[in-house]
Amino acid sequence: MSADWKGAIDCDVHPHVPNIDALKAHMNDYWRETVEVRGITAFESVAYPLNAPITMRPDWRGDKDKGRKRADTDPSRTAAALMDRHGFAHSILNCLYAVQLIRDENMAAAFCRAVNDWMRADWLDRDPRYRASIVLPLQNPELAVEEIERCAADKRFVQVLALAMGEVPLGKSQFWPVWKAAEKHGLAIGIHAGSSYHHATTGSGWPSYYLEDYAAQSLAFHTQLGSFIAEGVFVKFPRLKLVLIESGVTWIGPYLWRLSKFWRGVRLEVPWIDRSPIEFVRDHVRLTIQPFDAPASGETVGRLMDQLQSDEMLLFASDFPHWQFDNDDMMPVGINPTLRKKILIDNPLATYSRLGGSHAA
Partner 1 sequence: MTRHVVARAADLPPGTRKRVSVENRDIVVLNIKGELFALSDKCPHKGASLCNGLLTGLVRSSVPGEYQYERQGEILRCPWHQWEFDVRTGRSYCDPRRLRLMQFPVAVETGASVVEGPYKAETFNVAVEDDYIVLDVPS
Interface residues with partner 1 (CB under 8 A)? Answer: 173, 231-233, 235-236, 263-268, 271-272, 274, 276
Nearer to partner 1, 3 or 266 (CB): 266
Query: In a 3-state reduction of DSSP, which class is residue 195?
Result: strand
Minimum distance, C-beta of residue 255 to partner 1, in the bound complex (Å):
18
Interacting residues of 22 by C-beta distance below 8 A, sequence separation 6+: 118, 122
Minimum distance, C-beta of residue 280 to partner 1, in the bound complex (Å):
12
Minimum distance, C-beta of residue 158 to partner 1, in the bound complex (Å):
27
Minimum distance, C-beta of residue 231 to partner 1, in the bound complex (Å):
6
The Cα–Cα gap between 48 and 58 comes to 14
Nearer to partner 1, 77 or 236 (CB): 236
Nearer to partner 1, 267 or 359 (CB): 267
Is residue 190 within 8 Å of 133, Cβ to Cβ?
A: yes
Q: Supply φ then ψ for residue 43, to 5 degrees.
A: -115, 90
Nearer to partner 1, 174 or 338 (CB): 174
Interacting residues of 188 by C-beta distance below 8 A, sequence separation 6+: 158, 159, 160, 182, 240, 241, 242, 243, 286, 351, 352, 353
Size of the chain, expressed as the number of residues it contains = 361
The Cα–Cα gap between 252 and 356 comes to 28
Residue of 293, 210, 295, 283 lying closest to 251 (CA atoms):
293
Minimum distance, C-beta of residue 274 to partner 1, in the bound complex (Å):
7
Nearer to partner 1, 193 or 278 (CB): 278
